[in-house]
Structure 1
């Protein structure tokens, strides 16, 4: 019914913006006290009719009005006219201009960043820069994402960022991403890798000759020194640069001290061998991380490379960003659809797997909507563009996935803090190990205990944890996206592990949300045609699915001049004056409120009662259909440990009880208004454990307030729904409730992998530290405890992307 309306979308005029209109002034206003969705619709329509207004959009959920003004010399006059329209429709609403404080977002490529611990330091220091709102280093992509409060100071801030990066990692190139050329970057990286491998090979050959063949002590020392400088000279140089900048406790310094110390106590072969093993391990680790980056990026390789724009009969290949609303594009078989639009010519099968995870292609034809990112399989399609690329579904999905790693999980934050204290603690322990035992133990030699201390230093780098933990979460997010589940950050992915209760909206979530009039029952000498006509005129201003189904069943044009005195009665229905007759349309509570005698109807559908001039005219039954996998979705949730499932609905108790019983839902609360759903969710919070989480699953439009309040808001049917993507923490890209259980399984698998890496890395390091301390371990084991453990942890983290068996 009309009481469930939550958002009002603007008319087509507001949508059809010209890409060349770049001089429009944008203003945003808060509409304090706005409580009527229909009034919001009226405001929007009237404001859009004002001369000089390019577009107006009233968002009923956020109670905001966004204006684009094309007549810049009449701004104040137009704002006054807009205010008059708002107060004429809703006199108590206050119009307040909202200050549009823009936050500038910059992406900076940290080319050559290979130390996860250093990445954490860079992030920490960048967050201290004045006017930086937020700085996050995405180590997986070697990228710094920085939000700047004062855009005018971006140049100064970027310079400070460069200084910080050069101080912590002198060899890292800082590149501000404008139009990045990945091919050039990859080519340079490949050339650097080749030269490094050649240098290591030459050093290894000299080391091998010195070890196998007999030379004088001097020649042998020289050969070991030459091979050491070839293999580890770069490490020593980086360590010296970092020390000069105050960065002491990094892996370069630790490896340098350990291997130079080995030379100092006469262990020449071990000093070179350990450095060689370390460098080889680093190369393999970098290769594994790089491979994981590419693998995760490939999961969301849905960005179109070009659009075939049709101009005066000719076809021109252009960037998707150059295509505007209303333009016509051609998509050939095998090509990606570049932008959202409507098919105006042609039929074809399209592969939607990249967006939804569905492997079965679906058919599209003339009149069908189509989303950018899907692949055209076999037919030629002509598409009229309905959204610019920046506003398209594909652009929003890409932005969500690419920036998901910026929302760190509690585990990631813990590891980052842990790494800050772990390394210095082990270094001081190594210092104590080198000095104290020789002084207090009879017969202990400094050379023996210094060797043990040097091995201690090698194990002290926390890179195995700092690399693999974010990679595990990022892999889980990438794997979920491959399965048609968009998770907005590692924090939400981790929270899914502790879900105790899943609360569902009914319409559009557990049911299809496709309402159809199944029965028209007139009474008191009223014909069916007259009954449906009265209901249609009463529901004309509503865009709720029930109202839409009544209008569709009526099937004739609504003459709006016939409607006078429209009044929405929240939670009950509507009242209108139709050609002098008072028409009421709503639920049974409306009939009770107006003291109208009516027939009680037992049905699983929604009943709309209608009266004319206080006389009962009959009722209309609208039915919805349960989704095919809703029942299996509820069962799957219980199988994976969800304690309670709850359904909230604005529908009547008979409908709610029938559907909940059919699906196996534990509890149902019916006849709820949107604000009452929030209240009910608040009450449910008191019934869970302190660490337990509540999921709310809705359609992303009508349920935005509840989605925002829940620990984890999941929007169903998110494809093409801007409101769903904005309001929810997780977006299911299909209409399948069963994907909720899949999301929880992916989260549990990801946490298992992350915990495996934490336990494995810390256990191995602890064992090696104990062995070395008691003289049972050598520097070889210590190097394995550093690069070997890191490599294995990275490879294990890659498993988070595989979701085929879920």
Structure 2
């Protein structure tokens, strides 16, 4: 429904934003994901057994190495160390061999294989086993860390309902939610997960929405309320009429979103992947030069000594810890956000969030509750209040807009839709229809001017629906909305987070927009906008913003879909109730709280900070030990500890995002 737009400067045309139905647009980000860990089943026990055997063989070999080496049984050294080496490093050797057949000559498996085979060739057997052992231990810790991050996200998967109690001819039959059709009746008992989105037709209860929204306070529900799959019925028995198939339910789309979140890599991740492709072959050739050139030019230098130094260089230069810790940091950021009811569709959007300097809000349903009430009925030209309300309710009988719903609620009686014919929606203005053979229009002030209907109340303060019958002005209804409880706090938190400009775009009139902007202390606002006007406004902001000054837009994900799509970061408020929110937005805020925007920015910046720390720390330590290795100060043992230590510290640092 189109509502009027009053203007303090005279009777101008204006429009409400929420009645347009725009085609949803999606951001398209297609990135490769070329380094993954922990994607399959992982058994800690199965990993620890071979590691324990290798440790036992290594200790035994070290204890008896000197005695065996000096005896005629020196071959026993190989009998102890080689099985330990193969047990610890078989996976690495096989991966290196497979990659060689595919033309991938330079990766961490290749580095480890060359370094350890070289160590064996110069009779450094314990070091060769130790390199493979600690590399495997490092991989084990990586698996554990990735598994922990994965579980933090997959905790959302536990909201997936397994059974629906289908009511058929008075009997209850447990069935799979995927088999239930729209319109079927299901029963949900206390303590059970609600299996499908549905409308309550009988029962009163409290539902726990924490698994989907992160909010711990249960929500009271009654007959007529819509409840979502994945929430938990706490107290009363509820009878629901199913409104969506399981595949179309909010929880199904959320699960799909979570499972595919890691496919969109951040620029930092892509840089590290590119860096590793050049870094590894460079290290191999430098190591080769270290092994071959010094004995040719330095008097007294031996090949064995410089080959050993080259092997140290290969081990310490392994980029595996660096390569895994970066995506793990972003993975932890996505998981940490999910635990707080913020669904991020990929690491790339976390990266972009860190540079957001301008945040633009829609008004209705974003900063305000979107729960409208008819607060005034003003009839004109001989119409009565009941007549005006009845006309408004009838012409709005088929609209789902919150303003239309508030009018029908105020009317409070059953409506006969057959009384309404020739229904026509006038984009950006309102509605025209024939009610009981009378032409009725309902909409904003712009509609009255378009139809040349005389009236003298262009500057009504608030959200207004004007009506006219057979070109005679009948009066108006004043509709009130209110700010969300945390709207003011959201703006304060954004400023603390370093956001330089907060704005509001709305289709509502100047008076309402100015009032809300003043209450919240916004830096600016634009009112009386059509959806295409909002697109133009955001495009202008994008042109004005620099490379490191991104623009985020937060809307309801339906009427604002085009704007969400063009912003640097598009966020959907109240996404659980909106299909378009999950499909269009880069980030879905699973509660209706605008304060979650600042929280999302803070999580993104904490994630970026940890990732940068990992890069600086890993490269710094590796550079130090490369120098020590070339000058013969660091041994293979120290190289192993440095490599594994860097990887473990980076992994532990990445895990902090989950606890932040």
- Whether TM-score is above 0.5 comes out as yes
Matches for 1:123-272 after TM superposition, within 5 Å: 136=33, 139-142=36-39, 185=41, 189-190=43-44, 192-211=46-65, 214-215=67-68, 217-218=70-71, 221-234=74-87, 235=89, 237-238=93-94, 239-240=96-97, 242-243=99-100, 246-272=103-129
- State the secondary structure of the residue aligned to 2:181: coil
Deviation at 1:601, TM superposition (A): 6.3
CA contact (8 A) 1:303 1:394 kept: yes
Pick the aligned partner of 1:358 from 187, 191, 215.
215
* CA deviation profile, 1:595-626 (whole Å, cap 9, x unmatched): 54433365542122333444433222111111
Structure 2 unaligned blocks of 5 or more: 5-15
Aligned in 2, Cα 1:135/1:641: closer, same or farther, shift over 3 Å?
A: closer
Q: 2:302 aligns with which of 430, 445, 448?
A: 445
Alignment root-mean-square deviation, CA: 3.0
Q: 2:518 aligns with which of 657, 661, 664?
A: 661
Q: What are the residue-to-residue correspondences of 1:300-699 with 2, within 5 Å?
A: 300-311=157-168, 315-560=172-417, 562-563=419-420, 565-579=422-436, 581-600=438-457, 604-699=461-556
Query: Aligned partners of 1:408 and 1:726: how far apart in 2?
Result: 19
Quote the offset at 1:290 in angstroms: 3.3
Q: Give the corresponding residue for 1:734.
A: 591
2-side partners of 1:470 and 1:433: how far apart? Answer: 32
Q: Trace 1:82-101 onto structure 2 (pairs within 5 A).
A: none
| Cα deviation, residue 507, structure 1 | 0.8
Separation in structure 1 between the aligned mates of residue 470 and residue 101 of structure 2, nearest angstrom? 89
In structure 2, the CA distance between the partners of 1:578 and 1:342, relative to structure 1 (3 Å rule), is closer
SS of corresponding position for 2:310: helix
Superposition deviation, residue 241 in structure 1: 5.6
Q: Rate the CA distance shift 1:191–1:315 in 2: closer, same or farther, 3 A.
A: farther
Q: Deviations over 1:495-536 (max 9, x none)?
A: 111111111111111111111110111233321122223333
**What does residue 7 of structure 1 align with?**
none
TM-score, structure 1 normalization: 0.74
Contact 2:37 2:142 in 1 (8 A): no
Aligned residue among 612, 615, 619 for 1:758:
615
- Taking the aligned partners of 2:191 and 2:413, their CA distance within structure 1 comes to 42
Task: Name the residue aligned to 2:23.
Answer: 62
1:420–1:621: structure 2 CA closer, same or farther, 3 Å change rule?
Answer: same
State the alpha-carbon separation in 2 of the partners of residues 63 and 260 from structure 1.
Answer: 57
User: Does structure 2 retain, via aligned residues, the 8 Å contact 1:296–1:801?
Assistant: no
Shift of 1:684: 1.6
Shift of 1:650: 0.9
Contact 1:227/1:272, CA 8 A, preserved across alignment:
no
Deviation at 1:344, TM superposition (A): 4.2
Deviations 1:287-311 (A, max 9, x none): 3333433344235432233334455
Distance in 2, Cα, partners of 1:493 & 1:339: 31
2:568 paired with 1:715:
no
- In the alignment, the residues of structure 1 paired with residue 400 and residue 100 of structure 2 have an alpha-carbon distance, to the nearest angstrom, of 66
Distance 1:230 1:536, change over 3 A: same
Distance 1:370 1:359 in 2: 16
Separation in 1, partners of 2:22, 2:488: 31
* Counterpart contact for 2:550–2:568, Cα < 8 Å: yes
TM-score, normalised to structure 2's length? 0.89
Q: Is the 8 A contact 1:300 1:482 kept in 2?
A: no
Q: How far 1:376 moved relative to its partner?
A: 2.9
Alpha-carbon spacing, 1:264–1:791, altered in 2? closer, same or farther (3 Å):
same
| Count of residues in Structure 1 that have an aligned counterpart in Structure 2 | 639
Q: CA deviation at 1:363?
A: 2.8
2:13 aligns with none
Measure the CA separation in 1 of the matches of 2:295 and 2:136.
32
Q: Shift of the alpha carbon at 1:661?
A: 0.5
Give the Cα–Cα distance (whole angstroms) in 1 for the partners of residues 100 and 24 of structure 2. Answer: 55
Whole-Å separation in 2 of the counterparts to 1:242 and 1:568:
62
User: Which consecutive unaligned segments of at least 5 residues does structure 1 have?
Assistant: 5-36, 42-58, 65-132, 144-184
| Distance of 2:467 and 2:178 partners within structure 1 | 50
- The answer (yes or no) to whether the contact 1:712–1:730 under 8 Å persists in 2 is yes
- Give 1:24-35 correspondences, 5 Å limit: none
Q: Answer yes or no: is the 8 Å Cα contact 2:24–2:562 preserved in 1.
A: no
> What displacement does 1:537 show?
3.9
Question: Which residue of 606, 617, 620 corresponds with 1:749?
Answer: 606
CA distance in 1: counterparts of 2:428 and 2:458, whole angstroms: 19
- CA 224–304 in structure 1, closer or farther in 2 if over 3 Å, else same: farther
Alignment CA distance shift 1:281-1:219 (3 Å) = farther
**Residue 427 of structure 1: CA displacement?**
0.6
Change (3 A) 1:252 1:224: farther
Deviation of residue 378 (structure 1)? 3.9
CA contact (8 A) 1:601 1:607 kept: no
SS at match of 1:504: strand
Contact 2:202 2:238 in 1 (8 A): yes
In 1, distance between residues paired with 2:289 and 2:236?
Answer: 74
Correspondence list, 1:103-118, <5 A: none
CA–CA distance in structure 1, aligned partners of residues 604 and 32 of structure 2: 26
Distance apart, 1:314 and its partner CA: 5.3
Query: Structure 1 225/247 Cα, relative in aligned 2: closer, same or farther at 3 Å?
Result: farther
Instruction: Give, in whole Å, the separation in 2 of the partners of 1:294 and 1:594.
Output: 60
CA separation of 1:324 and 1:357: change in aligned 2, threshold 3 A: same
Distance change >3 Å, CA 388–CA 802, structure 1 → 2: same
Helix, strand or coil: the match of 2:639?
helix
- Equivalent residue of 1:694, what SS? strand
Deviates more, 1:786-795 or 1:501-510: 786-795
Q: Secondary structure at the match of 2:577?
A: coil
8 Å CA contact 1:2–1:539 kept in 2: the answer is no
- Tell me by how many angstroms 1:423 deviates: 0.7
SS in 2 for 1:518: strand
1:272-311 paired onto structure 2 within 5 Å: 272-298=129-155, 300-311=157-168
Q: In structure 2, what is the Cα distance between the partners aligned to 1:649 and 1:524?
A: 31
Greater alpha carbon shift after TM alignment, 328-337 vs 670-679: 328-337
**Residue in structure 1 matched with residue 2 of structure 2 by the alignment:** 2
Shift of the 460–592 alpha-carbon distance from structure 1 to 2, 3 Å rule, reads same
Q: Are residue 785 (structure 1) and residue 638 (structure 2) matched?
A: no
More deviation, 472-481/259-268: 259-268
- Evaluate the alpha carbon distance shift between residue 63 and residue 431 of structure 1 in structure 2; reply closer, same or farther with a 3 A threshold: closer
Residue 558 of structure 2 is aligned to residue 701 of structure 1:
yes
8 Å CA contact 1:140, 1:471 repeated in 2: no
